[in-house]
Amino acid sequence: MVHPSLLWALLLLAIPVIVHLFNLRKYKKEYFSNTSLLKTILSETQKTSKLKKRLLLASRLLAMFFIIMAFVQPLFNAKQAGTGSGQPIVSIYIDNSFSMESPAGQLKALDDAKQKAVEIIKSTENQGLYQILSNDFNGNQLQLLPYAEAREAIRTIEISSNRKTANEIWEKQIKTTSSNHSERKVFYWLSDFQKNQYNKLNHITDYPLTCIPIIHNEKRNIYIDTAFIYSPAIKANQDIKIIYRIRKSADDKSDKSLVTLTVNDAVKSRNEVVWKDKTTITDTLIVKLVSQDWQFLKLNISDPSVSFDNEYFFSFYLTPKPYITLVSNGADQKFITNSLKADDNFDVHGFGSLDLSAEEVKNSNLIVLNQPSQWNNSEKVNEWLKANKHVAIFLPADANLPAYNQGLTAIGVQSLAEWSPTSVRMKQFNLQDPTLQNIFTQIDKLSDLPSFSSYYILSGYSPRAKEVLISFDNGAPFLIKYSRLGEGSIYLFTANISSSKSDFVFSSIFAPLMYKLGSAAASFQLNSYFIGSDNSISIPVESNSKDNVFKITGKDVNVIPPQRKIGNTLQCQLHESIMESGFYSVENSDGVKIYQLALNHKRGESEMEFMDAGEIANALGYKNLEIDSGNSSYLKSLKAISGVNLWKLWVILALLFLLSEMAIILFWDKFYSQYLQSKSS
pLDDT digits (tens, 9 = 90+) for 325-346: 999 877 678 888 887 776 676 7
Lowest mean pLDDT: which of 188-192, 537-541, 585-589? 537-541
- Which residues are 367's β-sheet partners? 325, 391
Please state the rounded mean pLDDT for residues 538-563: 81
Q: What pLDDT, on a 0 to 100 scale, did the predictor assign at position 573? A: 84
- Beta strand spans in 220-318 (E): 222-230, 239-248, 256-263, 266-274, 280-288, 294-301, 311-317
CA distance 589 to 545: 10
Residue 145 has pLDDT above 90, yes or no: yes
Q: Across the chain, how many H-helices and E-strands are there? A: 13, 35
pLDDT at 379: 86
Q: What is the pLDDT of residues 228-267, one digit of tens each?
A: 887 655 677 778 888 899 999 888 888 999 999 999 999 9
Whether this prediction's pTM lies above 0.85 is answered by no
**Which residues lie across from 243 on neighbouring strands?**
228, 284
String of b and e for 402-423 (b: at least 16 CB within 10 Å)?
Answer: eebbebbbebbbbbbeeebeee
Give SS3 for 545: coil
